[in-house]
Structure 1
Amino acid sequence: KGECLYTIAKKYGISVRTLKRLNHLRSNIIRPGQRLLVRRIPIRVFFKDEKYFNSSDYIIHIVKKGETLYELSLKYHVPIKILKKFNHLTSNLLIPGDRLKIPVNNKSKKQQTIKSNGQLVKKFEINLGEEEQEELKEKFIKVASLYKYFRYKYGGNGYGYLDCSMFVRLVYQRFGIDLPRTAREQFRVGKFVPKDKLLPGDLVFFITRGYYPSHVGIYIGDNKFMHFSSSKKGLTISSLNSKYFRKRYIGAKRVLNNELLKYFKKFLNNSKIKSVENQENNSKTPS
């Protein structure tokens, strides 16, 4: 109580402007008990598989138009974070013609064989029953609900504010998949999916301005999708059949792959087994 932005900024050796930017503040008014971020501390992260990659053992990949770090990560079996570290990249944006160092994974000799595009597509062939689709839908909705109190802000990267593509990126990070930052970049990732073959988790794209993908959401079934909406000021569920989105829909991409779905199915099967065991144990309990 009694503190103001000026005294807090002076205490931590930063400017009032920096303090407001870190906390997305539009005015100088603060309330007692309000939590403020005063600085970002860089954290050294040790990658679990880092010891298997030798900085002196690598191949050179020339970036082609439309390629993304996500696709190269799948193609060469190298985590995106390690690709970025080896090439001193600060973002996921790639420029055609760039020369990327692809470290060789010494853990497996299979790394010497690079999969073709046809083999890469097989990673996205998913076969789910109705019950599994419903479970997957519930999982995505549960993760998305973590951001239900966030507000929409174009370019929002957190701290209470998100835009459509950052919301999608954060949700997928919970599934262990690192997507590019913008809707335009995300549209280049994964495999195209026909509208009548959509599964929960597929990304749906729209042109709401300009001549490129400018809005993205996550499909959840029944022709509905979750997204961060500027008009609704946050997280909402809309229909692909609505007049607005039907007119602006340009396609869908699948970024969930079989490797991830195997873990998901295994989790479902284990849950069902435990549920059956509990029911059997309860039935044996004397009344």
Structure 2
Amino acid sequence: MFGAASSQAQQVQGSSAATTNGTPQATASATPSSANTSAADNSDPVSRFLADKGLLPNTKPVVELAQQVRDKASDMASELVLSAMNFLGVPYRRGGTSEQSGFDCSGFTRHVFENSVGLILPRRASEQANSPDLIPIQKSELKPGDLVFFNTLRHTFSHVGIYIGDDKFIHSPRAGGQVRVEDMRQAYWQQRFDGARRAPVITARQSGNTQNN
């Protein structure tokens, strides 16, 4: 599942908060410390994958985020998040909706949701925010698999990504960029946060799985 991302792992790690065309030029994700890498070597493949992509700050063990995704999300949400990570490094392309063509922000979220949980989202970010298939949630309620929206083009709901946990989200940022992970605690994203949405189909399946178990 992770083959498409393995060769671009280094592109996820960022350096600055400078902006171009409405989004930061680089992600603030930190390179894992040697201690974290060592922990990942003795953990499951998901943990090692997260470590290789530099998705964790140095202060949090790799195993902890992998476990956090599994504990706080349904199986379907975990599958969605890991599916999204498979596209790390895929180039941005305006109007793009596939790995082969490249993605824009809403094309990326639409592709991931359709192919991981079977939910076909509207095409544009603003339409996704207003979709009757999604429910509004507060920022404090965010869980892996939720959609997060931002005002990056001076109008509401002009950008969208997928929350992956630990205050981070994955998205296709801008022309010249690639699918990558960003930290929502950055001032740029805090100031432009517009809201979040959740797909009931994910939580419904989680409830069903719990009852069956």
Instruction: Report the TM-score range of the alignment, normalised by the length of the smaller protein.
Output: 0.5 to 0.7
From 154, 158, 171, the equivalent of 1:210 is 154
CA distance 1:162–1:143, shift in 2 (3 Å): same
Which residue of structure 1 lines up, in the alignment, with residue 189 of structure 2?
A: 245
From 81, 84, 89, the equivalent of 1:141 is 81
Q: Does 1:254 align with 2:198?
A: yes
From 165, 177, 185, the equivalent of 2:127 is 185
Q: Does 1:233 align with 2:177?
A: yes
* Kept in 2: contact 1:150–1:162 (CA 8 A): yes
Partner deviation per Cα, 1:207-227 (whole Å, 9 max, x = no partner): 101323110011111111111
Partner AA of 1:213 in structure 2: F
Whole-angstrom distance in 2 between the partners of 1:171 and 1:266: 27
Which residue of structure 1 lines up, in the alignment, with residue 91 of structure 2?
A: 151
CA distance 1:197–1:227, shift in 2 (3 Å): same
CA distance 1:204–1:184, shift in 2 (3 Å): same
Which residue of structure 2 lines up, in the alignment, with residue 170 of structure 1?
A: 111
Shift of 1:156: 1.2
Shift of 1:142: 2.0
Shift of 1:153: 1.2
Shift of 1:245: 0.5
Which residue of structure 1 lines up, in the alignment, with residue 62 of structure 2?
A: none
RMSD: 2.8
* Kept in 1: contact 2:91–2:176 (CA 8 A): no
* Kept in 2: contact 1:137–1:220 (CA 8 A): no
Partner deviation per Cα, 1:24-83 (whole Å, 9 max, x = no partner): xxxxxxxxxxxxxxxxxxxxxxxxxxxxxxxxxxxxxxxxxxxxxxxxxxxxxxxxxxxx
Q: What TM-score results when the alignment is normalised by the length of structure 1? A: 0.44
Partner AA of 1:145 in structure 2: M
Whole-angstrom distance in 1 between the partners of 2:159 and 2:209: 28
CA distance 1:142–1:133, shift in 2 (3 Å): same
Secondary structure of the structure 2 residue equivalent to 1:241: coil
Partner AA of 1:252 in structure 2: A
Aligned sequence identity (%):
32
Partner AA of 1:146 in structure 2: N
Partner AA of 2:174 in structure 1: S
* Kept in 2: contact 1:205–1:250 (CA 8 A): yes
Whole-angstrom distance in 1 between the partners of 2:208 and 2:198: 17
Whole-angstrom distance in 2 between the partners of 1:264 and 1:140: 16
* Kept in 1: contact 2:135–2:200 (CA 8 A): no
Shift of 1:263: 5.4
Give runs of aligned pairs for residues 113-128 of structure 1, distance below 5 A: none
Shift of 1:231: 6.5
Secondary structure of the structure 1 residue equivalent to 2:189: helix
Whole-angstrom distance in 1 between the partners of 2:89 and 2:178: 8
Secondary structure of the structure 2 residue equivalent to 1:151: coil
CA distance 1:259–1:157, shift in 2 (3 Å): same
Which residue of structure 1 lines up, in the alignment, with residue 165 of structure 2?
A: 221
* Kept in 1: contact 2:149–2:158 (CA 8 A): yes
* Kept in 2: contact 1:218–1:225 (CA 8 A): yes
* Kept in 2: contact 1:149–1:160 (CA 8 A): no
* Kept in 1: contact 2:129–2:149 (CA 8 A): yes
Structure 1 unaligned residues grouped into runs of 5+: 1-128, 270-287
